[in-house]
Every structure is written in C-alpha cells, then in structure tokens.
C-alpha cells in the first residue's frame, strides 16, 4: 500500500460509516479517544453504529513512517466538523499492518487541541455555511457512487446518506421506504443495472440549493452519466434529480427525491 492509498483510507474512516471500519480495521485494532477512553475490536464498531459522521475533515502537517515493509504509520493534524458551529481539532496517529497482501488498521489515537491553534503563517478555518455543508455532502456522495459503480465500495456504506424514512417520486408514481435492508437491496439492483448498460461514470455538473428553513433544503443536482455502448464513442446523458435534505445532528440526510423517467431517456439514446 502506497502513502496516497493510506491517506485515502484515513479520510474514509473519518467521513464514512461503520461499514468502512468493518472493511479496513483489524480484529485486534485498538483506539484511544478523550474522553471516551480505549476501545478495541468490536467495541469500535458498536460505538460507531448509528453515530453521526463528520461532514468534512482537513488533514494537515502530515508525516509518515515505515518501520518495516509490513507497517505504515501516519501522523497528522485533523480539523473536522459535524456542523457549521462545532469545530474539532486533534493530533492523530494511525498504524496500518500488512498480513499477506492485505493492509488493516491496527491502531488509532486522537489528542484533542484548540481548533484555533494553528502553525505560524496558516489561516484559521472558517465556519461552514449550509451551502458549503451540502456541497461537500453531495461531492462525497458522487465519489461514493462511482466507487460503488467500480466495485471499490459496498453499496451498504452509502446508505448513511439517507434518513431512516424517505419518499421518492417519479413518472412511475410515489413510493415511501425505510433505510433498511430493502434500501440496500434496491440500490444493489440499481447499480447492477447501471453496470449492465455500460455506465462508466456519474458526475455532478451543477448544484442549486434552495433553503426551506434552518434545517431543510431543496437541492437540485444536475447529473451527467457517461456510457460505453457497443464500441460507439462515449454516450453522455444529462439529467436532474431534486433532493429534499434535512440537517440532523449536524449531518445532512436525504429524506426525499423527485426524478424523471430514466428508462425513457436511456431508450432515446439507444442505451439498455
């Protein structure tokens, strides 16, 4: 594992849910947090289950060391937020160990510091607005969608983005659902369909945010999908989805969306 991959894993552990920890942690991993204390193995997963994740994290003052070919140690300063008014800063270390060809996290610790304390010459972080929070949220969602599409991530790791209950509307009708195994199964089916018809990439072209109140927003996402189709040049299709988003415990949750007739658009372009 090179350092770039290690830093990407570290970022995932801050921003993604318990699924990422189950994938990346060693069974004997130990973590130390103030004031929580020391957690090990299954205790870590239990502590994270249902807990709000961070909206964004900035990792600076990065250092790394390789004591041997099977160990990689990261050290850095983390500045993270769960909402616009709750900054958190800590000096962190993480140790990854290799068994065979598989790398797992075996140690992580955080030492909290004053968020306003910066190295000389660096600027303090400013509070994120609702606009910034939502843009960061959908940027992560776009990244995860493409990783699921490429089979680099389990779709279950993306369901944290949805509220416990939601409503969806399209020309086919209106449905209500729950964030449970049925959502995971539906999403797995959807991504399988995307792969079957040659979907190569999903991009966000533009984002328009309309606040409803302090906790709710309507977010129009202009998507662009790219397809590989029977040896033809890439087929590009633009479409839009309107999302209803609630800020809950400092983290955005999608509780509704309105989409067009996707299958009809695909047929118009000779896809599927």
Residue range 118-167, pLDDT digits in tens: 544 444 444 457 888 899 889 888 988 999 999 888 888 788 889 999 99
Cα dist from 100 to 47, 97, 104, whole Å: 29, 10, 11
Do 150 and 93 share a structural domain? no
Do 203 and 92 share a structural domain? no
Q: Is 246 contained in some domain?
A: yes
Q: Is 248 contained in some domain?
A: yes
Q: Residue 270: what pLDDT?
A: 83
Do 185 and 57 share a structural domain? no
Give the predicted TM-score (pTM) of the model.
Answer: 0.57
Structure-token pair, residue 36? 């929580």
Do 134 and 260 share a structural domain? yes
Q: Model confidence over 241-254: pLDDT tens digits?
A: 999 999 876 678 99
Do 82 and 134 share a structural domain? no
Q: Is 63 contained in some domain?
A: yes
H or E stretch including 128? none
Structure-token pair, residue 152? 């680099």
Do 176 and 260 share a structural domain? yes
Q: Residue 85: what pLDDT?
A: 64
Structure-token pair, residue 178? 């729950």
Q: Residue 170: what pLDDT?
A: 93
Output the domain CATH number for residue 7.
3.10.450.50
Q: Is 35 contained in some domain?
A: yes
Cα dist from 250 to 42, 85, 134, whole Å: 26, 9, 11
Alpha helices in the chain, H assignment, sequence order: 3-15, 18-24, 42-48, 130-149, 181-196, 262-268
CA distance 87 to 79: 7
Q: Is 125 contained in some domain?
A: no
Q: For residue 52, what are the domain limits? A: 3-113
In sequence order, which residues have a C-beta less than 8 Å from that of residue 87 and are 6 or more positions away? 79, 80, 81, 115, 125, 127
Please choose, from the candidates 87, 20, 90, the residue with its C-alpha nearest in 3D space to the C-alpha of residue 51: 20
The segments of the chain whose pLDDT lies below 70 read 50-51, 83-85, 116-128, 231, 249-250, 272
Domain count, the chain: 2
Do 264 and 134 share a structural domain? yes
Domain boundary among 70, 86, 113: 113
Domain boundary among 113, 146, 162: 113
């Amino acid at each position: 594992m090179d350092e770039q991959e290690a830093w990407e894993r570290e970022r995932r552990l801050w921003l993604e849910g318990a699924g990422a920890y189950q994938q990346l942690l060693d069974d004997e991993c130990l973590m130390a947090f103030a004031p929580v204390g020391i957690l090990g193995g299954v205790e870590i997963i239990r502590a994270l289950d249902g807990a709000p994740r961070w909206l964004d994290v900035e990792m600076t003052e990065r250092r790394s060391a390789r004591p041997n070919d099977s160990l990689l140690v990261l050290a850095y300063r983390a500045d993270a937020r769960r909402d616009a008014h709750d900054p958190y800063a800590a000096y962190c270390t993480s140790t990854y160990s290799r068994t065979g060809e598989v790398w797992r996290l075996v140690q992580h610790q955080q030492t909290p510091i004053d968020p306003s304390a910066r190295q000389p010459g660096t600027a303090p972080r400013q509070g994120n607005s609702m606009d910034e929070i939502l843009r960061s949220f959908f940027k992560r969602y776009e990244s995860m969608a493409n990783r699921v599409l490429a089979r680099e991530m389990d779709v279950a790791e993306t369901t944290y983005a949805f509220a416990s209950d939601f409503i969806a509307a399209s020309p086919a009708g209106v449905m209500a659902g729950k964030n449970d195994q049925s959502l995971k199964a539906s999403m797995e089916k959807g991504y399988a369909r995307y792969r079957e018809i040659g979907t190569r990439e999903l991009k966000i072209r533009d984002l328009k945010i309309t606040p409803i109140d302090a906790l709710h927003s309507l977010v129009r996402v202009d998507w662009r999908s790219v397809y590989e189709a029977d040896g033809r040049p890439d087929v590009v299709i633009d479409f839009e989805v309107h999302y209803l988003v609630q800020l809950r415990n400092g983290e955005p949750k999608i509780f509704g969306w309105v989409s067009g007739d996707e299958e009809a658009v695909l047929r118009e372009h000779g896809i599927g």
